[in-house]
Amino acid sequence: MTQAYSTQMEAAKHGIITPQMATVAADEGIDPEIIRERVAAGSIAIPANHTHTALHAAGVGEGLRTKVNVNLGISGDVHDYSCEMEKVHTALKFGAEAIMDLSNYGKTHDFRMELIGMSPAMIGTVPMYDAVGYLEKDLAQITAQDFLDVVRAHAEEGVDFVTIHAGMNRKAIDSFKRSGRMMNIVSRGGSLIYAWMEMTGNENPFFEHYDELLDILYEHDVTISLGDAMRPGCVADATDASQVSELIELGLLTQRAWERNVQVMIEGPGHMTLDQIAANMQIEKRLCHNAPFYVLGPLVTDIAPGYDHITSAIGGAIAAANGADFLCYVTPAEHLRLPSVSDVKEGVIAVKIAAHAADLAKGIPGARDWDDRMSRARQKIDWDAMFEEAIDREKAEEYVASAQPSDPHTCTMCGKMCAVRNMNKTMAGEGVNIL
């Protein structure tokens, strides 16, 4: 990037197409000038910290393929960094464009530096999670400046985006207290800030010192992902006063960030019934000025522990088809435990399917090419070609190998009654022999 401009947005506003914009344009098959215009307007974000040299830049936002994020990181009960790195490799193998290190125990610096050093995917964090371990202070003893110092440390290390729950101010808390929510606040970072505010009597430090926060992010071109502390944690709480009042504030904070040339993404729900998803996407785009929307799920029902990668993928497909730009995966372990490597695999595959299904619905250029290649392989009953196009090749191969048909041009579901086999024969003028 030209040295005079510190961020992707600043360069874009001055008519500069950065190498990262050119990469996004090439990957998406879109004119680089269109990418530049949308970065300047804020409808596309390209999270790309100056010091993340392993990064393969990806764009999030208007007209682009739906991107997916994988959460991982150690906890106080399970802190095996080698296992977390195995999860990283699994996420990258199955095409995650972003990885968030949500480690919340001990000194997380070394793992984060290793992750930034090797990952072509963008890296995100929630600095609030790291504050207690980084500062070695109890929550009530942490100062507003301490919180900003942790953000600065993450920015200097090279993270590309940070989730900051800046919209949960005193006004939003007042709405929350009067709303009578079933699940209260389920955002981990949001709950910690709420507790800090209640214990100290102070305003949200990230809201009160927002300009200083933006200065830190601008210096390193760290994208701010404005977190939804008030996201609904059950379908009963969806689209309530707490959620909407915070979203209004996030829209105002978005404009302030753009004025300082800091890129923005907006985080969204949460748990939500199917009929509310499309409207929520439209509300976010309207209130937050078409900023990229990053959603967790939404999970469309609360009854499926052990299968929440499915409840999330259903909601994610609908959300992305109606305007969401970035989907955060959910694993089968959601609400139950820290996910294993196999949980990560199941979660990332489910969300990649949801994202691709949405891209088909939105008519993203080139999205259907993948499906067409698979369809041509199926029409020819070309197993090797089908395996090549499968989102999880190993699983597809295992299924076929586990039950061999008498005719290798079929599977054990239909055998010689296979419609594809018989149509191929008939169309070629051959007879069809079932017996």
Choose among 117, 163, 127: nearest CA to 147.
127
Q: Flag whether 52 is marked binding.
A: no
Closest CA to 225 of 242, 250, 197: 250
**Residue 271 assigned as binding residue:** yes
What burial class does residue 183 get, using C-beta atoms within 10 Å of its C-beta: 0-12 exposed, 13-18 middle, 19+ buried?
Answer: middle
CA-wise closest residue to 391 among 404, 374, 378: 374
Q: Is 165 annotated as a binding residue?
A: yes
194 is in an annotated binding site: no
414 a known binding residue?
yes
210 is in an annotated binding site: no
The reply, when asked if residue 418 is annotated as ligand binding, is yes
Half-sphere exposure of 164 (CA within 13 A, CB side): 33
Residues 391 and 349 sit within 8 Å (Cβ to Cβ): yes
For residues 317 and 291, the answer to whether their CB atoms sit within 8 Å is no
Cβ neighbours around 96 below 10 Å, total? 24
Exposure letters 127-154 (e unless 16+ CB within 10 A, then b): bbbbbbbbbeeeeeebebeebbbbbbbb
For 308, the 3-state DSSP assignment is helix
95 marked as binding residue: no
Q: Is 187 annotated for ligand binding?
A: yes
Residue 371 one-letter amino acid? D
* Distance, CA of 224 to CA of 296 (rounded, Å): 16
Pick the closest to residue 373 from 364, 382, 365 (CA basis): 382
189 known member of a binding site = yes
Coil, strand or helix at 333: coil
129 labeled part of a ligand binding site: yes
335 is in an annotated binding site: yes
Report the binding-site residues for substrate: 71, 100, 129, 165, 187-189, 228-231, 267, 294
Report the binding-site residues for Zn(2+): 271, 335
Report the binding-site residues: 71, 100, 129, 165, 187-189, 228-231, 267, 271, 294, 335, 411, 414, 418
Report the binding-site residues for [4Fe-4S] cluster: 411, 414, 418
